[in-house]
Amino acid sequence: MTPGMPDAEESPAPPQRLKKQLGLWDVYALATGATLSSGFFLLPGLAAVGAGSALPLAYLLGAAILSPGLLSTVELATAMPRAGGIYYFLDRSMGPLVGTIGGFGTWIALILKSAFALIGVGAYLQIFLPDVPMGPVAGGFAVFFGIVNLFGSKNSGSFQVVLLIGLLILLAWFTGMGAFQMELRNFDGLWDSGSAGIISTAGLVIVSYMGLTKVASVAEEVQDPERNLPLGIFLSFVSIVVIYMVGTSVMVGVAGVETLTRGGGDLTPVATVAELLVGRWGAALMTVAAVFAFSSVANAGILSASRYPLAMGRDGILPDFFSRVNARGTPVIGIAVTVALILISVTLFDPSKIAKLASAFLLTTFALACLAVIVMRESRIESYDPGFRAPLYPILQIVGILGSFWMIVNMGLLPTLFTGGLITFGAMWFTYYARDRVSREGAIFHVFERLGRQRDDGLDRELREIMKERGPREADPFDALLTGARVLDVEGDIDFEELVSMASKLLAQDLPVSADELSEGLLEGTRMGATPVSHGAALPHMRLPNLDRAHLALARVRNGVRFGYAHDGGIEPPRAVFFLVSPESDPGQHLRTLAHIARRVDQDSFMPEWLRAEGEEQLRETLFRNERMLVLTLERKGSGSDLIGLKLRDVALPEGTLIAMIRRDDELVIPKGDTQLLNEDRLTVLGRPEGISALRNRYGLVGS
């Protein structure tokens, strides 16, 4: 059941969801590992041709130009943590036509970036194995990383952490050694290339930051995305900018521009500088680092790129088989096709030209991300509820849009034509294949609705479903709301209007409005179809001005509520009714509270526990129970018998869990280390989801 949605019987079957397996350091490792490859090990030599000794400034300018788009992308990812990254955001904000263009373009750009990285492996290996052809080596690595990704994002993420640790250790050695051997005279003529040269080079090295966007495509698999996505990406961004600035400064300071630009640009600049620092073994060491780096970006590239066809398959943009995942929760078809396209790329394309083309479309998608934030905010959809909001709205987004397209123009004709070609292909695919298979519109229709035109309610329902899956935020006072909730317990059946009247009188005791005003508001919302009813529960709700906090009333009606509206529609008569009244000033928290209640009510265990509960406190416990809480009754011949007679200090609980409350007969016992557990004690255990899950399994309460 989702607030504001039709009854569950009318809703389509939900798509297969990917498992949430990635934590903060997985996000950091994916973003950092996907970025520190060609930008550090391959491009500096080529970039030095255009920027000269101002090479570090070109990298800094590239980061500055991308910042508005990066901030906007993070906002969208925390509001809509779904596979598909920028495709999903553009589709839901500006409609499936723009989403198709963004999806195809970003997928292809990620494939080219991954292919570029794999060819980099060959370039470095040829330093010591000159007879080994680059193409077959790159193809073999692509197949290997495709197999790694088939075993799930957690395994891929763990592998990424190992690669990143090895890479960072070697980079620390490189920059540490080089910092003491830099010669300032190598920076003479810092401005000889002029502003045009620095700007053009910044466009070339934009691809160096492309890995930061890859994490957005696996947002669906990130645990606690509102915290881990922004923190992981921003930590990665700061780390990368520092590494690029320090690393390129070392390259220029040690080797000089003349060495880096030999032959039109040194393709193995890090090995060249390392050899100058400590000899041949230094080149060998940094070749190992390069292999780590390029392997890392290829692994992360396949992981993220394969989520684009998955998301497009879910939405009907691509054939349905792209949306399937295997038992491990990985998109097999998306991975296979992505690897196949990488193999084609490493065979057919010249990698020296790919960097600028990939950079051009990365800039385009970042500009569109800025525009998507403007559309989402101006649509004023209450269920658009990002955990992170980009600052300086809308100035930041406008600067991001104008700056991105200004950079593309400065990069030359070929990147501009490439971007136009991808946009044309995406538009033609949507027009001739996908248009008749998609019945959805974006948030821009909500902007039109504000102008007196039309709107699309599908996006609002989808965002509310995301809110339900995500659960409340740490700052949401759900525990306090439930603890202070008023309770009604009705033995027989009752008319809905009468139940509303009773609940309104209870709530009016705590609110600065009359019971009649509350009753009329709750009834009006139900008449308009705004009261979700499903799984034997109903959620009448309203918002009022001048409230400092939300208020809740719980009503159990054992024989069911009689509705007098068409809303009744043959559904199961509600036996659990939750009346929520929230401040008008915080619609996001209001919707998150509704979504959290709906999430609990959807569980099969809810209704039996609700009807079994004895007294007001147990009714509250039934609703409060979730993945972070477990209520266990100790029975000599049942669950928890091994705990009877133990003192709390001797109870072995999973890490991150604790016994927060003990109910003994009709008394509340404050848990202490020497408190002895007795038969029929009711223990309330709080903790991390994994710890609570382990306790459920231990005591056979998996369905609760």
> For residue 620, what pLDDT band results from cuts at 50, 70 and 90?
confident
| pLDDT for 7 | 38
Burial of 212 (0-12, 13-18, 19+ CB in 10 A): buried
Residue position matching structure tokens 């991954």: 114
Mean pLDDT: which of 591-595, 615-619, 674-678 is highest?
Answer: 674-678
Query: Which tens digit of pLDDT belongs to each residue from 290-333?
Result: 887 787 777 777 877 787 788 788 878 888 888 887 777 778 88
In the chain, where the domains are located: 19-437, 471-621, 627-698
CATH (residue range 19-437): 1.20.1740.10
Nearest to 308 by CA among 289, 323, 320: 323
pTM above 0.85, yes or no: no
Average pLDDT over residues 343-359: 73
Query: Which tens digit of pLDDT belongs to each residue from 548-596?
Result: 889 999 999 998 888 765 444 556 788 999 999 999 888 888 888 888 8
Fold of 627-698: Alpha-Beta Plaits (3.30.70)
Q: Give me the sheet containing 629-633, strands edge to edge.
A: 629-633, 682-687, 657-664, 667-669
> For residue 17, what pLDDT band results from cuts at 50, 70 and 90?
low
| pLDDT for 12 | 44
C-alpha distances out from residue 456 to 86, 377, 528, Å: 20, 15, 17
| pLDDT for 287 | 87
8 A C-beta contact, residue 539 and residue 597: yes
Query: Which tens digit of pLDDT belongs to each residue from 68-114?
Result: 999 999 998 888 887 667 777 887 788 788 888 888 877 887 787 78
Q: Does domain 471-621 have CATH number 3.60.15.10?
A: no
Residue position matching structure tokens 């160096």: 208
> Tell me, what DSSP letter sits at residue 472?
-
Token reading at 653: 């609980």
CA 214 to CA 149: how far, in whole Å? 15
SS (H, E, C) 384-450: CCCCCCCCCCCHHHHHHHHHHHHHHHHHCHHHHHHHHHHHHHHHHHHHHHHHHHCCCCCCHHHHHHH
CA 171 to CA 244: how far, in whole Å? 11
Task: Name residues whose C-beta falls within 8 Å of residue 192's C-beta, 6 or more positions apart in sequence.
Answer: 52, 53
